[in-house]
Structure 1
Amino acid sequence: MNAKEYLSQAFRLDRKINNKLRHTVSLREMATQGTRSIHAQRVSGTDKHSPMENAITRLVDLECEIDADIDRLVDLKRELAAFISQVDNQVCKMLLELRYLEGNTWEDVAEQMGYDLRSIYWLHGKTLQELDLRLNKQELA
């Protein structure tokens, strides 16, 4: 794994969490729609679960997954912050923090740092080269 892939893990996990959160909205809607028709259901002797019950079960399971993913994201960001802290250049360190820890777009990073976008890309590339070397040394050790 190179430095960019390593640092981008938080982006991917954050997107995964957001997708699951959107899915919880639809499950909540399914569960609340089921409450409207619950009185119309007839009780039978089977162990079949109602659609509302299934939606609630899936919702609870998904919320547990989201909680676990959020815990992993917090731990991952802590790990990435320690990795970024190895960078000696304060400008490059700030660039990495703004991009990978705070999730800013490149345009926002450039604006916040007072650089043009091209300079940000160049600094990012140079910093990633440095971090790739550090990762390779760690893998060989």
Structure 2
Amino acid sequence: MSTTAVKKYLSQARYLDMRITSKIQQITSLNDLATKCTATLTGMPRTPSHGTSTMADAIVKIVDLQTEINGDIEKLVDLKKEITGVIKSVSNPEYQTILEKRYLCFLSWEQISVDMNYSMQYTFRMHDRALVEADASLKVESQVD
């Protein structure tokens, strides 16, 4: 594995978190749609097999999305636990902190630099070193498995 591959591996949680957030936004939109659905009343009789209502369709989609979100949240928790194990295998506590802030808390580089009182360049340098250590740790783990 290379440092690029390690970065991609560690970034999985961020992308899964973004997908969960997107699905939650979709649920909000579908909830809005479901509450706007109204029946149009006319004097004309309808056939009973007209099809399902817009509200029922929206509710089915909401339930399906909620089920997907629950599954994604379980995956995210497992993935973060796995990533935490990789980060803890890095010996330097400063490296661990940078990796945690970036890949578990999803902070920007600017925020990490401010939080740790480092320049951006120093933060990047420390991050690169942390990735090298994480890469070495993952190589050792893959040889053991």
Check if 1:97 corresponds to 2:114: no
Q: State the AA in 1 paired with 2:34.
A: A
1:122 to 2:125 alignment:
yes
CA shift for structure 1 position 3 = 1.1
Cα deviation for residue 98 of structure 1 reads 0.9
**Runs of 4+ off more than 4 Å:** none
Instruction: Measure the CA separation in 1 of the matches of 2:137 and 2:86.
Output: 10
SS at match of 2:39: helix
Structure with greater helix share of residues: 1
Q: In the comparison of the two structures, how many residue pairs are matched?
A: 139
Per-residue deviation, 1:133 = 2.4
Taking only the aligned residue pairs, the percentage that are identical comes to: 35
Indicate which of 4, 7, 15 corresponds to 1:4.
Answer: 7
After superposition, residues 44-63 of structure 1 pair within 5 angstroms as 44-46=47-49, 48-63=51-66
Q: TM-score, normalised by structure 2?
A: 0.88
Alpha-carbon distance in 1 for matches of 2:60, 2:101: 38
C-alpha displacement at 1:79, in angstroms?
1.2
Q: C-alpha distance in 2, partners of 1:33/1:68?
A: 29
Aligned to 1:84: 87
Gaps of 5+ in 1: none
Q: Are the equivalent residues in 1 in contact too, given 2:23–2:65 (CA < 8 A)?
A: yes
The unaligned stretches of length 5 or more in structure 2 are none
